[in-house]
Chain A
Amino acid sequence: MSFTPALNVDLNLNYFELFGLSPSFNIDLATLESNFRKIQSESHPDRFVSATSTEKLQSMQLATLANEAYQNLKNPANRAKYLLELQGIEAISETNTAMPLDFLMQQMEWRESLEDAKGAKNINALENLLREMQQEAKLLQSEIATFIDVKQDYISATGATRKLIFIDKVVADINKAIEQLEAEL
């Protein structure tokens, strides 16, 4: 480990512009991927191994930014969150955590199923739950696409995005539980 000078990349840069895309929830993932690769082909530190230290630093900054932007646009929940940020809305914040009651109930049910399956060491039940959550996530994604891309209804989009983020968290916990059970095998 070593000390390096602080990075000065402008983090307010619009990720969509970086990849030559117009800002919308439904994006062409193939274009995103191919433009990400084009930018990396030009900016990756491997291209600057024998360059000046100035060029090395710039390559590092741009390649890092491209990775960050790519991760944010590739993942649907992050993409929705980012689109809302561009509208000045923070989907998840300390003052903005309200959830409809039915979703909270639903979430508690999922959590209970997760705990039950964990307790019973039932990997199959966990995998079924995972599939259920993934379907739920797909539904929410098409809702978000309508709210943002068609209706420009950012308030409804925020609610749906928040749900999607919570689902992602449950999915991560299910995966962790499966991992732990497999480790015990």
Chain B
Amino acid sequence: MALLQISEPGMSAAPHQHKLAVGIDLGTTNSLVATVRSGLSNVINDEHGHALLPSVVHYVEDGNIDVGFSAQKQQNLDPHNTIVSVKRFMGRGLKDLDVSQLPYRFTETSGMVQIETRAGIKTPVEISAEILKVLKTRAENTLGGELVGAVITVPAYFDDAQRQATKDAARLAGINVLRLLNEPTAAAVAYGLDNASEGIYVIYDLGGGTFDISILKLSKGVFEVLATNGDSALGGDDFDHRIFCWILESAKLTPRNAHDTRLLLSKAREAKEWLTEHAEANISCLLSDGEFVNLTLTTAEFIAFTENLVQKTLSPTRKAMRDAGLTVEEINGVVMVGGATRMPQVRKTVAEYFKQTLLTNLDPDKVVALGAAIQANILAGNKSDEDLLLLDVIPLSLGLETYGGLTERVIHRNSTLPVARAQEFTTYKDGQTAMSIHVVQGERELVSDCRSLARFELRGIPPMVAGAARIRVTFTVDADGLLSVSARETSTNVEAHIAVKPSYGLSEDEITNMLKASFNSAEADKKARMLAEARVAAGAILEAVAMALSTDSALISVEEKQAIEAEMQRLALLKETQDDDAIHKAVEALNHATEAFAAARMNASVSRALAGKNLQDINL
């Protein structure tokens, strides 16, 4: 009989527990959730056995919010209040979108778009959060417990605003984001591990609304992205739209109301899917004014009027190949991802470009979620046979606005993450104590041709004569691909205060208000939630430090160890009280007490990896 394992009093036994973590593919058309169980990555189905959740949100008359298939059925009946393909609006302004064909009521705003629904004005972040909530509930009901976190996938070509919007949506849905993972990289994980592949692979990912191309080098469990490119507004939806325009033209229809537009778009999508395995598709429906549409679309016609959409994917493909410094002969395999890669003309064009048979043996709809689940399982700390490391890149260069509206590039596209770059600025006037920095993303010379990310206002610069201050601004892009900025006056070592104004994002205040609103405003609820969050944070750090001490306490003196243990004990006691503020402070204190220990551990592990190479001289 196996002996029971009992942990030390006060110490959690959690390290041996399987932690519930999922991978979520938040798609333009469909979303999925997957998890690793008994070593295998599986998609979690809903109670009817459906893996896909249509990314459709319906604000119902009775005040409920419907998501998925039932919401999809409402898109023709209640188009103003049924939002489809919301992913296209994430981190985007009105002028970025062609809203003329969309049935929604957009409100006038300079920042991220907002849609007027019967439930009030909604941002794409809130609408996406509704989809994420359904997936979270599905996962927790199936797995029988609370999730420790999720890996959420985003198109590789998503810019900072789109990534931040995705992370904010997860926060609103009450999901702890372990990592934002690029969709093609997630697909590579699912594919690479399945096939034990080594070499250079291309992931061609044409989804519902986005196109990504990533080139990866796979070697001994390390997935290194060499280059990525794409088009964050090109996908299967555009093929539907071409068919929709063809219907209007062929049936000589005048512009339609929202209901008919939705109906015809649904018919267009059905026809597209039908044509994957048939030579022609019948399109017939009854419009609201009694007019009957009955048309036949042949594969040849469909290929002809979508040809330039397929060609449009090759331009980013060529750019990525050139950035990676590769020729098609050096590519070991091309993986097809995304439902839109089922279209035969897409497969044919890609196969011809790369001069090889494409890899299509994994379900293109599921492969991203499956890969995300594998990564989530590892990041959550579950022991796994697969020791993999993903080295991803920033898809678009980051720059600053300089004189004359020109862009000064600070971080180049395809730099491996995390990456940081410092830039020095000085003052223009005597006694100047503030300055403004405009950060943009894109490859063009003119600021007006790039995407505005945010304006940073630096305050608290010590007053000096013009040109004397040395303000060192550090731009850091983390492993999620998200930018943060810090600034310091180097001659006086004064930290400058930074106020961030995101151009197409939500401010911290707006998020907080949305979160508060979602607590249903009851003060007690709010308090309970804050306390629960503080306790989770306390539990996590206690566990992390206990683990570290159990393996590496030899790296520190007995006194240092005792000091850490004293803080642990203090926190463990406070954790059982109702005082969330005190718990947070004790977490900070424990963090502080472990600084030297953490540095010693990092040095030791890197030294071990390099076999004897000593890193004492890295001043971290």
Interface residues in chain A, defined as those with a beta carbon under 8 Å from any beta carbon in chain B: 1-10, 13, 17-18, 20, 35, 37-46, 49-55, 58-65, 67-68, 70-71, 175, 178-179, 182-183
- The DSSP consensus for interface residues of chain A is helix
The answer, yes or no, to whether B86 is at the interface (CB within 8 Å) is: no
Given contact pairs A42-B605, A43-B602, A44-B391, A1 touches B474 in the complex (Cβ within 8 A):
no
Number of interface residues of B (CB under 8 A): 73
Cβ B389 vs Cβ A40 within 8 A: yes
For residue B438, give the distance in angstroms from its CB to the closest CB of chain A: 12
User: Considering the complex of A and B, which 9 residue pairs feature the smallest CB-CB distances, nearest first?
Assistant: A10-B619, A38-B609, A45-B479, A4-B484, A49-B379, A42-B605, A55-B598, A6-B486, A67-B416
Residues of B within 8 A of A7 (CB): 420, 474, 476, 486
Cβ A1 vs Cβ B160 within 8 A: yes
Cβ A52 vs Cβ B418 within 8 A: no
Bound: A42/B613 CA distance, A: 13
**CB < 8 Å neighbour of A54 from B379, B472, B478, B592:** B592
Cβ B486 vs Cβ A5 within 8 A: yes
Cβ A1 vs Cβ B598 within 8 A: no
- The DSSP consensus for interface residues of chain B is mixed
**CB < 8 Å neighbour of B478 from A9, A60, A67:** A60
Bound: A54/B322 CA distance, A: 39
**CB < 8 Å neighbour of B379 from A1, A46, A68, A183:** A46
Residues of A within 8 A of B318 (CB): 179, 182
Residues of B within 8 A of A1 (CB): 160, 164, 439, 453-454, 482-485, 500, 502, 505
Cβ B160 vs Cβ A20 within 8 A: no
8 Å CB contacts to A: which residues of B353-397? 375, 378-381, 389-391
Bound: A7/B619 CA distance, A: 11
Cβ B479 vs Cβ A44 within 8 A: yes
Bound: A170/B488 CA distance, A: 35
Given contact pairs A50-B544, A61-B620, A20 touches B602 in the complex (Cβ within 8 A):
no
The answer, yes or no, to whether B578 is at the interface (CB within 8 Å) is: no
Bound: A2/B500 CA distance, A: 7
Residues of A within 8 A of B160 (CB): 1
Cβ A39 vs Cβ B617 within 8 A: no
**CB < 8 Å neighbour of B540 from A45, A50, A58:** A50
Question: Which of B378, B381, B601, B610 is most buried by chain A, counting CB atoms within 10 A of its CB?
Answer: B610
Given contact pairs A54-B594, A55-B601, A58-B598, A179 touches B322 in the complex (Cβ within 8 A):
yes
Cβ B476 vs Cβ A39 within 8 A: no
Residues of A within 8 A of B219 (CB): 37
Cβ B618 vs Cβ A62 within 8 A: yes
Bound: A59/B67 CA distance, A: 39
The answer, yes or no, to whether B566 is at the interface (CB within 8 Å) is: no
Given contact pairs A1-B160, A38-B609, A51 touches B390 in the complex (Cβ within 8 A):
no
Cβ A46 vs Cβ B389 within 8 A: yes
**CB < 8 Å neighbour of B500 from A3, A38, A64:** A3
The answer, yes or no, to whether B45 is at the interface (CB within 8 Å) is: no
Bound: A103/B561 CA distance, A: 63
Bound: A58/B540 CA distance, A: 18
The answer, yes or no, to whether B324 is at the interface (CB within 8 Å) is: no
A65, closest chain B residue (CB): B618
Given contact pairs A49-B179, A49-B379, A42 touches B609 in the complex (Cβ within 8 A):
yes
Given contact pairs A3-B484, A7-B420, A182-B315, A42 touches B618 in the complex (Cβ within 8 A):
no
Cβ B544 vs Cβ A41 within 8 A: no
The answer, yes or no, to whether B197 is at the interface (CB within 8 Å) is: no
Cβ A71 vs Cβ B389 within 8 A: no
Residues of B within 8 A of A35 (CB): 610
Residues of A within 8 A of B613 (CB): 20
Residues of A within 8 A of B544 (CB): 50-52, 55
Bound: A62/B420 CA distance, A: 11
Bound: A67/B164 CA distance, A: 23
Residues of B within 8 A of A179 (CB): 318-319, 322
Bound: A63/B476 CA distance, A: 12
Cβ A45 vs Cβ B598 within 8 A: no
Bound: A60/B375 CA distance, A: 19
Residues of B within 8 A of A60 (CB): 418, 476, 478
Cβ A4 vs Cβ B222 within 8 A: no
Cβ A62 vs Cβ B602 within 8 A: yes
